[in-house]
């Protein structure tokens, strides 16, 4: 049975993702901190993303750099930042610096209970505007394309 | 989603079929305005303007907010729908990642068991 993934906009500048895994925290934590394991799940095939390279020095003060390719983009996309806190088997905090100063800080907690691990991921943006901008710039679903025509019309009204 | 989008588009185009409502959008494109302002500008009764704004609001083209006794109207641009769609995409991304992570966790568990068995032997 698959466990449910939930996402909630917890506040004006915070998104929270939760998911339970059927394994102990030390194993789940290992999969989040070793590049050779991260590589196997961070870039989902169903999204057409694949890793070009994956570097992660998961120690407090260490850095990471993930480079992906996607068929729709000629240039590879790089995501990078640094680990602010790495507490084995319980907590990971890193920065997301590819977007400049408006990047979020991601906190992941691992809570083990009865051989299962609850993972809670917080993405905290510096301001409400930064999260709104992330939402506006990355809204690339078909849903928005449907509205492109109408938007073009509305722009002529301005 | 397709059904919903189609219904939304129908509502949007119906809302835009009226000259006054197009004028209201044009006006709000320049600046936010209260229903009273809009009624005056378009030489209409408050009730008449409320109806027009209601149609635009239902189509997601305008949002209104009541502060004190004044209801302020602004261009909506479906921000809430856009946000909901983005959050759903974001959820799907994490779900796809986590499904793959399940596999990795299963393999690591199996490996740990095998290693423990080897140690005992």
Q: Are A144 and B83 a contacting pair at CB < 8 A?
A: no
Q: How many CB atoms lie within 10 A of CB B95?
A: 20
Residues B88 and B63 in one domain: no
State how many domains chain B has.
2
Q: Which of A9, A143, A158 sits opposite B85 (nearest CB)?
A: A143
Least CA distance to A49: which residue of chain B? B93
How many Å apart are CA A123 and CA B85, to the nearest integer?
18
Residues B25 and B83 in one domain: no
Is pTM beyond 0.80? Reply is: no
All structural domains of chain A with their residue ranges: 6-126
Task: Give the tens place of pLDDT for each residue, B24-82.
Answer: 988 887 788 999 999 999 999 999 999 999 999 888 788 898 888 889 998 876 555 66
CB burial of residue A95 (10 Å; 0-12, 13-18, 19+): middle
User: Which one has a higher pLDDT value, B6 or B75?
Assistant: B75
Q: Which of B5, B25, B81 sits opposite A157 (nearest CB)?
A: B25
How many Å apart are CA A70 and CA B49, to the nearest integer?
49
Taking contacts as CB-CB distances below 8 angstroms, the residues of chain B near A40 are 100, 103-104
H/E element, A81? strand A73-87
CATH of the domain at B65: 1.10.10.10
Q: Which of A41, A45, A135 sits opposite B101 (nearest CB)?
A: A41
Q: Are strands A73-87 and A63-70 parallel, antiparallel or unpaired?
A: antiparallel
Residues B87 and B66 in one domain: no
- Joined together, the tokens standing for residue B115 give 């290693």
Taking contacts as CB-CB distances below 8 angstroms, the residues of chain A near B111 are none
- Joined together, the tokens standing for residue B65 give 């907010």
Taking contacts as CB-CB distances below 8 angstroms, the residues of chain B near A6 are 91
How many Å apart are CA B3 and CA A41, to the nearest integer?
33
Q: How confident is the model at residue B7 (pLDDT cuts 50, 70, 90)?
A: low
Least CA distance to B88: which residue of chain A? A7
Q: How confident is the model at residue B4 (pLDDT cuts 50, 70, 90)?
A: very low
Best residue in A1, A2, A4, A7 to probe B by mutation, most B CBs within 10 Å?
A7
| Domain region containing B42 | 2-75
Residues B23 and B55 in one domain: yes
**For A6-126, CATH number?**
3.30.530.20
Residue among B3, B101, B77, B83 nearest A7 (CA): B83
- Joined together, the tokens standing for residue B48 give 């008449």
Residues B27 and B82 in one domain: no
Secondary structure, 3-state, A18-33: EEEECCCHHHHHHHHH
Q: How confident is the model at residue A137 (pLDDT cuts 50, 70, 90)?
A: low
Residues B36 and B71 in one domain: yes
Q: Which of A17, A40, A140 sits opposite B94 (nearest CB)?
A: A17
Least CA distance to B6: which residue of chain A? A146
Chain A nearest C-alpha distance from B45 (Å): 24
**Does the predicted interface ipTM exceed a cut of 0.85?**
no
How many Å apart are CA A103 and CA A90, to the nearest integer?
23
Residues B12 and B58 in one domain: yes
Residues B9 and B57 in one domain: yes
Q: Are A41 and B104 a contacting pair at CB < 8 A?
A: yes
Cβ neighbours for A90, distance < 8 A, ≥ 6 positions apart: A25, A29, A109, A110, A111
Residues B102 and B58 in one domain: no
Task: Give the tens place of pLDDT for each residue, A67-113.
Answer: 988 877 778 888 999 999 999 999 999 999 987 888 899 999 999 99
User: Which one has a higher pLDDT value, B5 or B44?
Assistant: B44
Residues B20 and B58 in one domain: yes
Residues B42 and B54 in one domain: yes
Chain B nearest C-alpha distance from A18 (Å): 9
Chain A nearest C-alpha distance from B100 (Å): 5
Q: Identify the pLDDT of residue A136.
A: 67
Residues B38 and B59 in one domain: yes
């Amino acid at each position: 049975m698959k466990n449910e993934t939930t996402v909630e906009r917890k506040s004006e500048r915070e998104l929270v993702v939760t998911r339970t895994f059927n394994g102990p925290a030390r194993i789940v934590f290992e999969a989040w901190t070793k590049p050779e394991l991260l590589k196997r799940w961070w870039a989902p095939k169903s999204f057409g993303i694949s890793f070009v390279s994956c570097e992660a020095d998961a120690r407090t003060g260490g850095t990471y750099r993930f480079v992906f390719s996607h068929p729709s983009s000629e240039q590879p996309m790089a995501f990078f930042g640094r680990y602010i806190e790495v507490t084995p088997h319980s907590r990971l905090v890193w920065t997301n610096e590819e977007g400049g100063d408006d990047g979020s800080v991601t906190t992941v907690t691992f809570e083990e209970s009865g051989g299962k691990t609850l993972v809670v991921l917080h993405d905290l943006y510096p301001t409400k505007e930064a999260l709104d901008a992330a939402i506006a710039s990355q809204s690339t679903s078909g849903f928005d394309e449907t509205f492109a025509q109408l938007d073009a019309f509305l722009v002529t009204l301005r | 989603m397709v059904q919903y989008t189609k219904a939304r588009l129908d509502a949007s185009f119906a809302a835009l079929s009226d000259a006054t409502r197009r004028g209201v959008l044009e006006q709000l494109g320049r600046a936010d305005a209260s229903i009273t302002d809009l009624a005056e500008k378009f030489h209409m009764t408050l009730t008449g303007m409320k109806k027009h704004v209601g149609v635009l609001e239902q189509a997601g083209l305008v949002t209104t907010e009541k502060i004190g006794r004044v209801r302020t109207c602004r261009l909506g641009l479906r921000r809430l729908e856009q946000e909901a769609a983005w959050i759903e995409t974001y959820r799907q991304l994490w779900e796809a990642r986590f499904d793959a992570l399940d596999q990795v966790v299963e393999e690591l568990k199996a490996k740990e068991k095998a290693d423990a068995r080897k140690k005992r032997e």
